[in-house]
Amino acid sequence: MLTPPPAATFGQRLARACLQGLGWQLVCPARLPAKAVIVAYPHTSNWDFLFGMLGKFALGLDVRWVGKDSLFCWPVAGLLKAWGGIPVNRRQPEGFVDQMAARFADSPALYLAIAPEGTRSLTPGWKTGFYRIARGAGVPLVLAAIDYGRRQVGLIDSLDLSGDAEADLAAIAQRYAGRRGLHRERAAPVRFLNSPEP
């Protein structure tokens, strides 16, 4: 069982109380790296945002997360950015990986959460941006899950990348085995849509 550290702030205690009241359990490894790309999988429902934000606040982590730019509109744009949101234009993704890798280099501590499926709908696999950012920045992955089967939300493991993309992906798939999204039929298989190599 992964047990999160004790809550240090009122906000953490409130978020944990909300999760507990909804019948959910918060999970987190005992130790986390100072910097990491957080993989958020599976992502199959709008409800994931609620449970994901509750998990973020409950753990007290300053997690930045990536969302499509169309979400960041008035009147919620300021709030989403204050909660860690980074808008990305999917129509012009060029340079995003390099920008995020540079942000890691400039930050003493940074967690960047990305849903590799890129959408709540079924896709044939994962986009590779999360992997290329982690490799470019030289940081590990932290695997996050909103598991509707176990009713658990949080961070389930961390993984240092080997550079062998297929071996790394197999290790990721093993750790996510049995984790279930709200709409299990929409969860993409754990495989890359294209090569993660530049």
CATH number of the domain to which 26 belongs = 3.40.50
User: Whole-prediction pTM value?
Assistant: 0.89
Given a cut of 70, whether residue 140 has pLDDT beyond it is yes
Given a cut of 70, whether residue 91 has pLDDT beyond it is no
Q: What is the mean pLDDT of the chain?
A: 91
Kindly indicate the confidence band of residue 67, based on its pLDDT and cuts at 50, 70 and 90.
confident
Stretch 33-42: mean pLDDT? 96
> Is 192 inside any structural domain?
no
Distance CA(22)–CA(30), nearest Å, equals 24
Given a cut of 60, whether residue 195 has pLDDT beyond it is yes
114 vs 94, residue with greater confidence: 114
> Is 95 inside any structural domain?
yes
155 touches 59 (CB < 8 A)? yes
> Is 143 inside any structural domain?
yes
- Range(s) of the domain holding residue 15: 10-186
> Is 1 inside any structural domain?
no
> Is 170 inside any structural domain?
yes
- 3-class secondary-structure state, position 102: helix
How many separate domains does the chain show? 1
Strands (E), 1-103: 25-27, 35-40, 63-68, 85-88
> Is 5 inside any structural domain?
no
Give 3-state DSSP helix, strand, coil % of the chain, rounded to 5: 35, 20, 45
Asked which of 80-94, 96-110, 119-133, 180-194 is least confident by mean pLDDT, the reply is 80-94
90 vs 187, residue with greater confidence: 187
> Is 30 inside any structural domain?
yes
